[in-house]
């Protein structure tokens, strides 16, 4: 992977943690590391900022969906059942 990780240790750490979560065994292969990690959430939408819980939830789910290899993997990362993720995607109009 040629992504340069421009000074963002948290982004690198999150990507590695994601690989650990998604990898079925003790080896993290390239398929669990995105070629170009998604851009961070909008700076206006973060924990502690003046946004609604729904907006924060939507931004977080969008971010996870953009990185996950499947909907099941996204649900696992979010710590929710795939059926719950389906309902949240439908409610938030995230297809």
Residue 46 pLDDT? 64
The pLDDT tens digits of the residues spanning 78-91 come to 999 999 999 999 99
- CA distances to 7, 29, 78, 79 from 73, rounded to whole Å, are 27, 15, 9, 10
pLDDT of 16-44, one tens digit each?
A: 887 887 788 888 887 777 766 655 555 56
- Tell me which of 25-29, 48-52, 55-59, 79-83 is least confident: 48-52
The band of 59, judged by pLDDT with boundaries at 50, 70 and 90, is confident
Residue 66 has pLDDT above 90, yes or no: no
């Amino acid at each position: 992977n040629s992504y340069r990780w421009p000074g963002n240790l948290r982004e690198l750490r999150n990507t590695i943690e994601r690989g650990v979560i998604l990898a079925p065994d003790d080896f993290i292969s390239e398929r669990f590391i995105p070629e170009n990690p998604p851009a961070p959430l909008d700076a206006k939408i973060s924990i502690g900022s003046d946004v609604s819980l729904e907006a924060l939830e939507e931004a977080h789910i969008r971010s996870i969906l953009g990185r996950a290899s499947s909907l099941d993997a996204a649900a696992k990362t979010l710590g929710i059942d795939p059926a719950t993720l389906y309902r949240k995607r439908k409610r938030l109009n995230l297809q």
